[in-house]
């Protein structure tokens, strides 16, 4: 069941109405049943994998809760991580590793090869695996006590707004919310509706419209050059953002209707002034998870002292994992490697850049410096976006090669593009999205808007709904991050 489907627009109100109609003690059972129903509509077999991940991490956490010493808890932590991570590797990465082994065997002249049969990737497995691992690590570290109610824990893993594509929640943040009675909160409820409406707008009107231009270019790379690829590169990153942040808005908004607060996953990433700043604003739940459970777990001392090269290596490892988490393709590994390398380069050259800004006077022009930093960061992100996809690695290099070919610009390419009303509408929608999210980020705007008369506020909602109905692409396209 897709968020952008008629089915979900029926499912969600039914769940919300029943949720408030039922006594408090039965609400978790309703949400659990609804979440499993929501997930089972994809494939029945997927639920068995979800239940296995839930049961293993639940039992491991209970066992760890019975042990006072960390060393006694470690064996149960290892068992849980090995099984849960093993399922993720089997379903998502087995083909990748099999292909590497077979290629290595062929290079060395060995006729040995491992047969591989295509395995269907269970939807959401990358998200709920990290959620269960994070939970068991927190129990192991003593950050949270194990949840004894298996139904509540199963709801934490399978909660329908986030099970398919996050945000990746922490047990210490979400599980306690299932133990609290949520009375109907009009303000939280209306803010949830606003988020759902805005998320639908970003997905149906912007992301799916941008895919009309992006998909043909990235599906037929050899036929496009210069300005076409440059435009498609910008549009791709905007499409991914509108699609994924749109999903997140709908997820957070859906949870708010029932009184639950999910973690923010985006914070205006295209206003970032560095690659590091970008990852503090983009897919926040993933990068913060890897920071807390991977980056800080890696060794950072050499001969007892913290050294910068250790920290930089850790940073590179973490962001290679960021890329690899997205999919078993060399493209994603290079994507993560580039982002990690850009951050390391920024760390190394920081004193030089500070001197450069001082000498050139940029440090005395904060607005100009900020604009240049935002522009440079945006261009780097768009460039790395050529590696962000499930296409052969050679296609990424062909895209970059064709990007430098502007021989036909202004002849049969640029003018038709500029005359395309859909293209101009798409650019206008991108500008509107960025501008509107800038306004949303300003607390003064929210206060002023909510102080307006009810008729004016609801006229704005109706106008956005009207815009969705008129300009939306109603083909029920899957959300981009469902493939991860």
417 located within any domain: yes
Residues 407-457: tens digit of each pLDDT: 665 444 544 555 566 778 888 889 989 998 888 888 777 777 777 787 888
- 100 shares a domain with 244: no
Nearest to 74 by CA among 89, 63, 59, 85: 63
411 located within any domain: yes
Looking at residue 460, what is its pLDDT? 83
- 353 shares a domain with 454: yes
- 216 shares a domain with 130: no
Residues 117-163: tens digit of each pLDDT: 667 788 889 999 999 999 999 999 999 999 999 999 999 999 999 99
Looking at residue 214, what is its pLDDT? 84
Q: What is the total count of domains within the chain?
A: 2
Burial of 219 (C-beta count, 10 Å sphere; 0-12/13-18/19+) = exposed
- 416 shares a domain with 305: yes
Of 260 and 43, the one with more pLDDT: 260
Query: Which two structure tokens, joined as six digits, stand for 175?
Result: 């599980």
Residue of 225, 283, 326, 339 marked catalytic: 326
The arithmetic mean of pLDDT across residues 27-32, rounded, is 95
- 392 shares a domain with 297: yes
320 located within any domain: yes
- CA–CA dist 326, 330 (Å, integer): 11
Of 95 and 252, the one with more pLDDT: 252
Domain boundary, last residue among 181, 216, 234: 181
The arithmetic mean of pLDDT across residues 282-288, rounded, is 94
What's the DSSP call for residue 22? S
Of 178 and 328, the one with more pLDDT: 178
Domain boundary, last residue among 181, 206, 238: 181
Task: Phi first, then psi: give them for residue 305, nearest 5 degrees.
Answer: -120, 140
CB of 481 closer than 8 Å to CB of 286: no
CB of 204 closer than 8 Å to CB of 167: no
The helix/strand/coil state of 370 is helix
- 256 shares a domain with 151: no
334 located within any domain: yes
The arithmetic mean of pLDDT across residues 205-222, rounded, is 84
Looking at residue 383, what is its pLDDT? 92
pLDDT higher than 60, residue 300: yes
Average pLDDT, the chain: 87
Helix-, strand-, coil-residue percentages of the chain, each rounded to 5: 75, 0, 25
- 157 shares a domain with 200: no
1 located within any domain: no
DSSP class per residue in 31-72: HHHHHHHHHHTT-HHHHHHHHHHHHHHHHHHHHHHT-SSHHH
Distances (CA, A) of 385 to 159, 210, 241, 272: 31, 15, 11, 16
% of the chain at pLDDT higher than 90: 49
CB of 439 closer than 8 Å to CB of 445: yes
Looking at residue 415, what is its pLDDT? 47
- CA–CA dist 360, 367 (Å, integer): 14
What does pTM read for this prediction? 0.90
Q: For residue 167, give the H/E element and its range.
A: none
Beta strands in 319-408 (DSSP E): none
Question: Domain span at residue 387?
Answer: 188-483
The arithmetic mean of pLDDT across residues 5-22, rounded, is 92
Residues 61-102: tens digit of each pLDDT: 999 998 888 888 999 999 999 999 999 999 888 888 888 877
- 222 shares a domain with 177: no
- 192 shares a domain with 173: no
Lowest mean pLDDT among 108-112, 297-301, 314-318: 108-112
Residues 6+ apart with CB under 8 A from 296: none
Q: Residue 44: which pLDDT band, with cuts at 50, 70 and 90?
A: confident
Domain boundary, last residue among 155, 181, 207: 181
Looking at residue 93, what is its pLDDT? 85
- 269 shares a domain with 200: yes
Looking at residue 476, what is its pLDDT? 59
Active site residue 179: no
Q: Residue 174: which pLDDT band, with cuts at 50, 70 and 90?
A: very high
Give the chain's largest Cα–Cα span. 76
Q: Residue 303: which pLDDT band, with cuts at 50, 70 and 90?
A: low
Lowest mean pLDDT among 174-183, 269-278, 389-398: 389-398
Looking at residue 412, what is its pLDDT? 45
- 125 shares a domain with 11: yes
- 218 shares a domain with 113: no
Lowest mean pLDDT among 167-171, 369-373, 401-405: 401-405
């Amino acid at each position: 069941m897709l968020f952008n489907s008629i089915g979900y627009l029926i499912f969600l109100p039914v769940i919300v109405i029943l949720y408030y109609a039922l006594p408090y003690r039965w609400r978790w059972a309703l949400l659990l049943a609804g979440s499993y129903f929501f997930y089972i509509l994809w494939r029945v077999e997927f639920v068995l994998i979800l239940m296995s991940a839930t049961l293993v991490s639940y039992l491991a956490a209970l066992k760890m809760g019975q042990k006072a010493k960390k060393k006694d808890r470690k064996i149960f932590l290892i068992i849980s991580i090995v099984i849960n991570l093993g399922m993720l590797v089997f379903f998502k990465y087995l083909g990748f590793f099999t292909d590497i082994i077979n290629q290595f065997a062929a290079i060395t002249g060995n006729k040995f090869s491992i047969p591989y049969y295509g395995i269907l990737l269970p939807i959401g497995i990358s998200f709920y695996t990290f959620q269960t691992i994070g939970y068991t690590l927190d129990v192991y570290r003593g950050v949270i006590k194990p949840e004894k109610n298996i139904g509540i824990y199963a709801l934490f893993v399978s909660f329908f707004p986030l099970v398919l594509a996050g945000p990746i929640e922490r047990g210490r943040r979400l599980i306690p919310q299932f133990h609290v009675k949520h009375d109907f909160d009009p303000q939280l409820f209306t803010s949830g509706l606003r988020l759902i409406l805005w998320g639908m707008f970003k997905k149906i009107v912007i992301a799916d419209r941008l895919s009309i231009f992006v998909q043909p270019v990235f599906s037929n790379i050899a036929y496009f050059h210069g300005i076409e690829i440059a435009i498609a590169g910008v549009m791709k990153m905007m499409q991914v953002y509108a699609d994924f942040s749109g999903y997140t808005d709908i997820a957070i908004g859906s949870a708010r209707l029932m009184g639950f607060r999910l973690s923010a996953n985006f914070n205006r990433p295209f206003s970032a002034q560095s690659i590091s700043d970008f990852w503090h604003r983009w897919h926040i739940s993933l990068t913060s998870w890897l920071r807390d459970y991977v980056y800080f777990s890696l060794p950072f001392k050499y001969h007892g002292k913290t050294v910068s090269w250790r920290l930089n290596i850790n940073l590179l490892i973490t962001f290679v994992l960021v890329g690899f988490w997205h999919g078993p393709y060399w493209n994603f590994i290079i994507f993560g490697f580039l982002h990690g390398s850009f951050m390391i380069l920024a760390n190394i050259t920081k004193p030089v850049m500070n001197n450069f800004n001082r000498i050139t006077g940029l440090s005395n022009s904060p607005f100009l410096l900020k604009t240049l930093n935002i522009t440079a960061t945006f261009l780097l992100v768009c460039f790395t976006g050529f590696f962000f996809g499930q296409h052969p690695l050679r296609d990424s290099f062909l895209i970059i090669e064709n990007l430098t070919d502007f021989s036909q610009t202004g002849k049969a390419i640029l003018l038709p593009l500029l005359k395309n009303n859909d293209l101009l509408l798409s650019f206008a929608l991108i500008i509107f999205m960025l501008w509107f999210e800038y306004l949303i980020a300003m607390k003064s705007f929210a206060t002023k808007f909510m102080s307006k008369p009810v008729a004016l506020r609801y006229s704005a909602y109706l106008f956005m709904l009207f815009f969705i109905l008129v300009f939306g692409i109603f083909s029920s396209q899957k959300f981009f991050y469902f493939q991860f």
